Structure 1
Amino acid sequence: MCIPETYAGLATALNPWLVEHGLTRLPRLFACLEDMHAIMLLHGAYMGRVDVVEVALNDCGVSPAMTMLMIDLAAWNNQRLILDYFQQHPHATGWKCSSFALVAAARSGHVHIVRFLHSQFPSVPCTEDAMDMAAEGGHFNMVEFLHVHCEGCTELAMDLACEHGHLDVARWLHEHRSWEGFTECAFDKAAGNNHMAVVEFLHFELDAPSTEKAMDLAAENGHLGMVLWLHEHRSFQGCSERALGMAAAKGHLDVVKWLHANRSESGSPSGFAGGAAAGGLEMMEWLMAHCPDCDLYKGAMGKASKDGLLEVVQWLLSHGQEVTEAAVDDACLGGHMDVIKCLFQHRPSAFTSGAFHSAIEGGHLELVKWLYYDLGITHRDAMEGAATYGHFNVLKWLHELNSFTATTYVMDEAASYGHLQIVQWLHSHRHEGCTGAAMDGAAANGHFSVVKWLHRYRTEGCTIDAMNFTAAMGDLTMVEFLHTHRTEGCTSHAMDCAAANGHLTAVMFLHAHRSEGGTNYGFEWAVMEGRLGVAKWLHTIQGRAVSRGTLMFAARNGDLAAMRWALLHSSEDISGVPFADYAIDEGRLSMVHLLLDMGCTWTMGAMDHTAERGHLAILIKLQGHWMYRYVKAMQNLIAMYLEAVEAAGGLRDAEPPPSKRQCL
C-alpha cells in the first residue's frame, strides 16, 4: 500500500473519533495507548490538522527525527499551514526538513512548498531526484524552478517524462538540459505506455535509441497500434521471444495473433509459464491450436489454481494436464475450495504437508481444518507459518490443539513482520520466548511499535544488526531510538549501506552522532547505485575518491549521471580500458554510447556475448564502432607505409612497417 492510501485509511479511522470526542480527550488517549501520540502527530501533519499537532506537542515533546518526518509528510501532502506552524512555534528551534521533503513536494508539483523549503532551509540539499520526480509527474513549472535552484537532474528525468507521456517536459529538457541526456528506457517505456506523440518525437527528431523491450512492453499492454508502428518504423529492433507470452498473459489475443503471424521472434511463447491462464479459455484454446509444442501448460495449472479459475483448471485437466503437488499448494494458498476439491478428485496423493503450510500462509482457517481433520495432513512448522504471516486466528487454533510444537523462531518471525498482537499473545501464552533476532527484524522492517514493546517488556535485546539494517533502510526515527535507548550500537556497515541505498539524512545523522564512521565501500556503492546526492556529500565531507573498481561497477549498473560525475572526479585514465564490456554484458545501450565516446574500448568476446543475448541495438553500435576503428587503423597503417616510402626515396626500396594488433 502506498503512503497516500495508508494515511487516507488512518484518517478514516481517526476522524470519527476526533469528531465525537474532540481534542480534549487526546491526552487521555495518549496515556492509554503509547503509540497513539506518534500516530496522531503524523496524521495531523499529513492531513494539515494544526490543532491536533499543537495538542500533541504540548502533551509531550518529540525528537528531531520525528519533527523532520512530520515536516516531510506535510510537504508531501501540500500542507503549508503545518509548515507555517513550525516556523512560528516557540519550541520548534532547529526544526528542518530532509531532502525527501523537497523531492516529495516536487514529485507532487507543489511549487510554493518547494519555494518555501528552499528559502527556509538553504543548507538542505535539493538533489537531482527532485527534478527527476517533477519530470515524472509532468510538472512543467516545477521543472523550470528546479532548473535554476537545485543541483539539476539525471538522465532519469527525460526517461520518466517520456515514460509517462509528458511531451512538453521532455522537449523542454532536451532543449535546456541536453547534457544529461536519456537512455533507451525513454523510448522503450513510452512505447510500452502507448504515448505515440512522445515516440514519434524521439524517433523523428532525436533518433533516440531503443531495444526490443519497446515492442515487448507494447505487446504486454495490448497496444496493437503501437506494435504495428514499431514493426513499420523500427523493425530492425523487433521484439524478444517473450513478447507473445507477455501479451497472452494479459489476455491480448489480437496482439498474440498478430505477433504469431508477423514476427519470427514470437514463434513460441516459451518461458512465460502459466501466465496465459489469466487470458481465459479462448486464449488457451488458440494457443493449443497454434503453438502445440510450447511449454505454456507447465505452469498454467498452478496459476489457474491459485487464482480460482475453475473453468481453466477443468479445461487443462480435460486436455491431459496432471495435478501436481505444486498446483495443489497454489490452490491452497488461494483458498478456493471448489478448485481444491476438483484437484482432490483427480489426484488425492498430490495433497501433502506443503498444502497444509500453504493454507496456513493464506490464512484460510476452514481449509486448514479440512486438511487436518479430513485428510490428516499437518506441517511441522505450522505455528511458525501462522506467526510469520500474521494469521492470529490460525495461530490460536493450532495452539489450542496442543499438537504442534514451537520455538523462539515463532516470536522472532512475528516481530520481524510487525505482528504486535501476536508477539504480545505469545509473550503471555507461550514459554518459548524469542531471541535478539526479534528486535533486529522488527527494526530492519520499520516496525517501531514492536521495537519499543520488545525494548520495554523483553530482555533479549538486539544486536548491531538492528541499527545496521535500520540505517540501510533510511529509517531515521528508528536509528535515533536505537542510538538513544540501546547500547548495542552499529558498525561501519550502517553508514555504508545507508549510502548505498541513497539515504543521505541517515548518513548525515550517523556522521554527526556515531563514531563508527563508514568505509570507502559506502562511497563506491553510492556511485555504483547512482546515489549521486550521497556520493557528492561523501566526496565533499569525507574526501572519498573514485577508484577504477567503482567505475567498473558503475558501468555495469548503467546510471549515466553517476558515471559522468565519477569520471569527472576520478584520477583514473580509462582510455583504452575495456570498461564498455561491463555495460555491454548488462545491455546498457546508453552507457555503451557514453563509454565509447569517452575512449573506452571493448573486446570481441563482449560482442559475441551481446549477440547471444539478443541486444541488437548494442550489436549495431559495436559493429559501427568496430568498422570506424578498423578504417582508422588502416588509414594509419597506410600513412605509415607512405612515410616509409618517402623516407626510402622510392617505392622499390621501401619495407612496410610491422603491423600492430589494434585494440577494439
Structure 2
Amino acid sequence: MNINSSSNSNNNNNNENRLDEIELEEISDGSLNAISNNEIGSDSLGNSPIQPNKSETDDSVKIEILDDNAKPVIVVDDSVNQKNSNRFLSPIYRYFEKWTGIQNQTSPPMVPFSEMFWSWLGSMVGMGLLAALHYYVLNKQDLVLLIGSFAASAVLIYGAYAGPLSQPRNLIGGHLISAVIGVSIRIAFVDTLGLYSVGSFCAVAFSIVAMQLTRTLHPPGAFVKFIHERKQLKSIKWQYVLNDPKILLQHGYLSELNVLLDRPYIIDDYDGFKLIEPHFALYIQCLPTLRFLFSKYREKKAFWISLIYLTIMNHNKESTMFLVENIESIGDDVMESVLVAAFKQPSIEIIDYLYKRVKSYQYLEDSIVVIVENGQINALKYLYEYGHLRSVSASKILYTAVVYNYYELVHFIVERFPDARIKSDLLPLIAKNCDLAIYQMLLERGNEDTGENHPLQCFTYVIDMAAENNRLDTIKWLTENKPDVSRICSVKAMDVAATKGYLELVQYLHFNRSEGCSKIAMDRAAKSNHLEIVKFLNENRSEGCSYKAVDRSAKHGHFQMVKFLCDNRLEGFTRKAMNYAASNGHYEMVVYLYQWGEDMCNPVTALMNSAKGGHFEIFKFLFSKLTVEDQMISDRYVDKPLNDFLQYNSKEINRFLFDESYQLDVDQKDVDRLVQLGCHDSLRVVYQWSGGSFFNTNSMTLAIKERKLKVLKFINKNCPGIVEPKSIVTHACLSGDIDIIRYVLSKDFSTTTDNEVKFVFQLLLDYKCSLLSGHVLYETIELMIDKYQSRVTTNEYKIITPVRAGDIELVKLLYSKGIKAFDKTLLFHIANIGHIEIAKFFHDNGIEQSITGCLEKSIKNFEMFEYLYLNYPSQPPINYLNAIEKAIRNGCLNVVRYLHEHHDDHDIFTPQLTQLANDFKRAEIEKFLLSISLHTK
C-alpha cells in the first residue's frame, strides 16, 4: 500500500477547514482488504499496520468514491482533529457532550413503518391484557397494575427490543431487585425512622447499583419504589380489614367476609346480613360477590327484588339477569314494574332482555307518560317499534316532551304522528327550541283541544323566545307571514341576540323590525366581549349604553372593548372599573383607566384589591400614584386601614413596602390574625419593623392550634424572650399535625410538667385525640415515650381502650418501649370480642392476666374459647357447668360438643342440661345431649 499526501499541507495556517486527500492504490486483486478489515495503514501484504496519528481517529477519516471507476480516497478533516484535541484537554466537555448527543454527527435512522406497527400492536395488547387482568380477574379499584414502570418497560421491549436493556433478564430482574430494595428502604427509613425525605432517592440510587452488579439494568425498574407514593395508598391494619364489611366487599375478600358474617356476637338476635345491607352499591357491580351473598341470604327475597331496580339504574345487565333468573317466583306485576324502571334508563340491552320475559304490557302502556318524563329517546323508539306508543294520545306525549324540554323527542313525535297537536300557549317554546319545519307543522295542525287554528295571542313575544336560540329562519318567517300580529316582538329580542353574540340576527332585527333595543344590548354585549356587535350598535342605534359597559368589560379584562367604549362613547365608567381590573390582575387595563380618568379612580381601594390578588406590578404602579394624603388618611375610602394588605401574605408586596419604609400601623389583633392565617412573610415584615414586640405566648399557641408550623418555627427562633405557653404538648397533640408534634417534642420547653405529660399520654391511649389515627398516632406515642421515658413507663396508665379495639400494633409498640405493667383484667374485656391476637401476645410474653369469668364470656367466640381452654386450664379453677349452661342458652353447640370431647368430668352433662336446651328451644343442642346420654347408658 502506497500513501501519497501533499508535503506542504502541515504548513497551512489558515482557519478554514483543510482536507488532505490521500490516494489509496489498488492492490493486486482489485479489492480493498485493508479498508474492509479496518486496517487502514497496513501494507498490501498484510504486514503489521502503520499506526495512524491519534488525531486521525474515526471521526476525522472518511472514504469517498467519486464514481465507479475512481479510486477510493481517504479524506482527513482537520477540523475534527482539532475538536478531538480540544476534547482531550477538557474532560468536563467530553462528559457533557454525552448529554447533548453532539458526538453523533448524523441523525438516527428512521424506524421502518412495519416495526412501528408491531410496536404499536405489542404495546396495545400487552398493556391491554394487564388492564383486563386487573379489571375482570382482580378488583376494579384504581387499576394499580397499570403503573408507570410498566409503561416505560413497554417502550423498551416493544420499541427497542434489540437493546441490551430490553431483554427478559433485565426486565424481570430489574423490577424484582428494585421492588425488594424499595420496600426494604421504606421499612428501614420511613416506617422505622420516619425519614420521609430520604427513602425515595436512596431507593433509586441503591436500585441502580444493584442492577448493575447483577447485570439486570432496566431503567423503568427504579420507578417501582414510587408506586406507593403515586397511588397514595392508605395503610390499614389487617385486623381492621377483617372487621370492616365495606372493605371486604370492595376488594372481594369473600372468604374473610364469610367468617365475619358467621361470627357469633353477644347479641342474641344479631343478623350478619345487616352488616352488608347498607353497602349494596359495592356488590351490585361485582357479579361474583353478588352470587356469594345471594347464595348466603337467598331467603331475603324482598331485598333482592329491590336490588333489581338498583342494578337497572346502574346499567348492569349481568347482575340484573342473575337476579331475575335466580329469585324464585317473581310475580308478573313485579316484572312489569321492573320493565317500566328499565325504560326510564338508557340501556336498551336490559330493556330488550326484560321485555321478552314479561307476559303483560298493560302497566307499561299505562306508564308511557312517566317514561317520557325521563326523556330516554331510545326507549321511546323501542316502544314505537313494538307499537305501544299508539295506546296513548300522541298530543299528550308531545305536551310532556315540551314541558320537560326533550326537543329531540318532540321532533320524533311530530314527524311520526300526524295527529299530534299542541296547546297554543306552548308555541313560543317550540319556536325557541325547534326547527322552523316543526314549528310550521304544529301551526298547521291547530290547537290540541279544538283542532282549530291557533289564536293570535299565541304569537305574543314569540320572536323574543326564538331570538334566545338564534332561530333566525323562524324569526324571518314570522316577520314575513305574521305582520299584523301586535306584540309579536319587543326590545328583548335584540337585547338577547346582542348578549349572546348573534350578529346576523341583530342586523336582521335592526333592518327589518321596528322594536329596537335598550341600553342592555350594548352593556351585555360589551361584557361578553362581542366587539363587532358593540360597533354595529354604536354606529346604527341611538339607545347607547350605560357606565356598566366599561365597568364589566374592565372586570373581565376586555381591553380592546374598554378602549373602544372610552374613545367612542361618553357614558364613562365608575371607580368599580379600576377596582375590578386591579383585583383580577389586568395591568394594561389599570394603566389605561388611570390615564384616561384619574379623577374616576380611587388608588387606595384599587391598591387593596391588587394586594388581595397578589398582583405586584399593579400594586407597585398604584402605590406610585398615592398622594401623601392617601397614605396618611388610608381609611378615607375603606373601612379597614391600608396595612391590611399584610394578611394577603404577598412576599413581593411586603418586601416592596418594607424597602419603601412604609409606616405600618398594626396592633396585637393584627398580628394574631396573621398568625392564624399563616402569613409567614407578612409576619417577617412586622418583626423587622417592630423588633418582635407584638409576638407573645398567645402567638405560639395560635400557631400550634392553627397548624402553622412555619410560623411556629419563626416565632420560636426569633423571639427567645417570650414566655413559653403552658400545655404546649397538649395543644400540639390535639392539633393532629404530625409535623407540629415532631417539632414541639424535639424542643425542651420548661413549661411542660409531669402532670401534662401523663394527661396527654392517657389521651393518646384512649384515642381521644380525634385528629390522630393510624401511623400518625403510633408515631406520636413513640415520640412521647422517647422524649419522656421516665414519666410514661410507670404503672399509672389504663390501656383498656387499645386492647378492646384490637389494636395489636399499639399493644406491641407499648410493650417494646418498656410499658409492661398491663392491667390483669384486660383479657376479660376482649374475651367476647375475639381479639385472639392480643390474647396470644399476652400469653407468649408472660403478661399475667386473670382468667376469672373469661371462659364463660367467650362462649360466643369459639376460637377465643378454645384458646383460653387450652392455655389457661386451671388459673383459677373454672366453673365448667356454668360455661355449658351459658353455651346452651346462647345456642353454641360447638362449645358444648368441644367440652364433651375434651373435658374429663362427663358427670356435669346431666339431664337438667337437656331440659335447659328444651326450655330455650335449642333443638340441635338438645338432640346432641340426648345422644350422649343414650350412649352413656
- Report TM bin, short chain: 0.3 to 0.5
Give the greater-gyration-radius structure (CA). 2
Of Structure 1 and Structure 2, the greater helix share is in 1
Q: TM-score, normalised by structure 1?
A: 0.41
